[in-house]
Each structure stands twice: as C-alpha cells, then as structure tokens.
Amino acid sequence: MNNIHRFVTLGVRNYKACRVWPSLSTLRVPSSQLVGGVCSMSSNDGGFGKETADSSQYETLRVTFEEGVRVITFNRPDKKNAINEKMFAEVPLALKVASQDPDTVITATTGAGNVYCAGNDRENFRKLTMTDTRDLLIRFFAAFIDFPKPLVALVNGASVGGGATMLPLCDAVYAKESAYILTPFSAINITAEGCSTYTFPLIMGQTKAGEILFFNKKVGAREAETLGLVTEVLPDATFLQDSKHKLLAMARLPIKSLIYTKELMRQPHRDTLHKVNVEECKRVTERLVSAVYPDKKDYDQFVKDNW
C-alpha cells in the first residue's frame, strides 16, 4: 500500500460528536439483515451487493453490502454528490453503523453517477449559523479520523474540495484513470479543510501541497498516484469490477489484525489531526459566512470553468 496512508490511520476513539444523534442506537443492524435487490455494477449506481437495512434511513446515501464489504455511496448525482446539511449528518451515522456491524470488514466510499464528490454544497452556508456550520464540518471529518476499520475510497470521477481532502483520511484510494482532484479553496475565497493542511504536506511535501492547496491546481489520477494521494489507478472500463475484486479480497483478511494494525498506525497522529480539523473548520467557517464568499453568479462561473 502507498506510504500516503501510513500516517493517517488514527485508531479507535469514541466519536463524541455522535452522541448528538440518539438514533444511533437504533441503527445497529448486522449486515446479514439485508433488504432490497442486488445492485448492478453500472457506473451510475455505485457500490455493489444488496442494500443494507439502514440504507433506507438515509436521504443522501445508498449503503450496500456483500461478503464483508460495505459500500457507502454519496447519492446526490444531480448535485455532483455535493455534501449538503443532511449528508454532513448522515455520513458519520453510516460510518458509525459500519464500525459496529460485526459482518463488515472493509468499508468503502464512492459516488453515484460520474462524480465522486463535489465537496460542500454552497447552499448550506446561506441558511446555517456560523456555529452550526463549524460543528457540521468538525463532526464530518472527525468521523473519518476515528473510523476504526479499514476505509477505502473508490474515486469514480471528480473529487473536489472536501471530496478531495477526505481522501488522505482513508486507508487506500483507488481512482478511475479519468478522475481528478481539485481543491479550489482560494478560488472561492475560503480556506482548506479536511485536515489537508496537515496531511497534504506530510504526503507530498510542502511545495507540492502548496501548489495544490494555494493555487487550485487540478491533479489527474496518474499524478495523484505519483504524489501519494492515490494508491492505484484503475482503467475506467473495468473500474467497478477491479475495485470490487480488491475489496472482496481485503474482506477475507482477519478483522482483528486489521483493526489493531490500524490503531497502531493512527495513534501517533490522532490528536494532531483532531486539533488541525478544529482549527481548519473554525477558519473556513469564518470565510463561508463572510461577505467575501462568492455570490452565486461568481460561484457558478467557477463551476462552469472547472467541470
């Protein structure tokens, strides 16, 4: 596995923020209790296997399971899987369920349609208070930091903003050859998030990280692999089949060994990542609710120029 992920495995810690959702206790459903039919392997669906019992409780996600592999699909394809207020709450819930499910060995994230994740939905910040926005961001990335089992990102297309900065918080990243990564924070007058001010320099060095985080450089999948952001690039035509094969092979490994090794790898960096997450979220929230955040016309023009 690429050395990208050796530092980001942060061990098992009770995710304090999850206590705000009392419904968590109702979501502890073994993956053997599945509903729905078998998913197709088309790029429009994302994931594979059968829908889990908890999948129907989410508005913005689709969760499937097969032979020890749980796939969480960001399911807002009409919005390029941008993270709205609901998804900010549902992703930590889905990760919590995966961590508690005894049948789940490997958890993966992917996107519906042809985009992995477009980052934050700008409409969130037109109606939320500064405190609400900050807390949503902190809880979201903390759920990735504290996830105790192997977490794999299947990057099936563009990965932008928070969709890109979450990748180093995973333990392996497989990307389509046509996928790319973009962190356009300065272009829209905000600051970096997702612990990227810590993870990116540690992975690729200060100058390369600066080029990406400061200057909005779009990075193709092959370059991302060279930099260490991506574990392996897979052909577009066989991406789902190839990634499924890899995940099922991983899921045959002993879960206790995987969990304990991840804990040992993450423990030295856990507190630092949580501290960085809080500080980043404070700063980005200030920018998001400020008057300098681009209006809709400017934002839409940026999207048009870069998608």
Residue 198 sits at φ, ψ, to 5 deg, of -100, -50
Residues of the chain with pLDDT > 90: what percent? 72
Of 39 and 108, more confident: 108
* For residues 167-196, average pLDDT: 97
Residue 67 pLDDT: 98
- What are the tens digits of pLDDT across the range 237-285? 999 999 999 999 999 999 999 999 999 999 999 999 999 999 999 999 8
Closest CA to 112 of 163, 168, 172, 161: 163
Identify the band that residue 287 occupies on the pLDDT scale cut at 50, 70 and 90.
Answer: confident
- What are the tens digits of pLDDT across the range 12-63? 333 333 323 333 333 334 543 444 433 434 445 677 899 999 999 999 999 9
- What are the tens digits of pLDDT across the range 188-221? 889 999 999 999 999 999 999 999 999 999 999 9
pLDDT at 165 over 50: yes
Q: What is the mean pLDDT of the chain?
A: 85
CB 230 within 8 A of CB 170: no
Token code pair at residue 144: 């990735």
Q: Which three-class secondary structure string do you get for the chain?
A: CCHHHHCCCCCCCCCHHHHHCHHHHHHCCCCCCEEEEECCCCCCCCCCCEEECCHHHCCCEEEEEECCEEEEEECCHHHCCCECHHHHHHHHHHHHHHHHCCCCCEEEEEECCCEEECCECCCHHHHCCHHHHHHHHHHHHHHHHCCCCCEEEEECCEEECHHHHCHHHCCEEEEECCCEEECCCHHHCCCCCCCHHHHHHHHHCHHHHHHHHHHCCCEEHHHHHHHCCCCEEECHHHHHHHHHHHHHHHCCCCHHHHHHHHHHHHHHHHHHHHHHHHHHHHHHHHHHCCCCCCCHHHHHHHHHHHC
* For residues 121-148, average pLDDT: 90
Report the alpha-carbon distance of residue 242 to residue 222 in Å, rounded: 17
- Which pTM was predicted? 0.84
Report the alpha-carbon distance of residue 89 to residue 140 in Å, rounded: 7
In the chain, where the domains are located? 13-234+258-306
Report the alpha-carbon distance of residue 276 to residue 168 in Å, rounded: 14
Residue 17 pLDDT: 34
pLDDT at 163 over 90: yes
Who contacts 290 (Cβ-Cβ below 8 Å, separation ≥6)?
none
Identify the band that residue 301 occupies on the pLDDT scale cut at 50, 70 and 90.
Answer: low
Who contacts 25 (Cβ-Cβ below 8 Å, separation ≥6)?
none
* For residues 89-110, average pLDDT: 98
Burial of 97 (0-12, 13-18, 19+ CB in 10 A): buried
Residue 36 sits at φ, ψ, to 5 deg, of 85, 175
Q: Domain 13-234+258-306: which topology?
A: 2-enoyl-CoA Hydratase; Chain A, domain 1 (3.90.226)
pLDDT at 225 over 80: yes
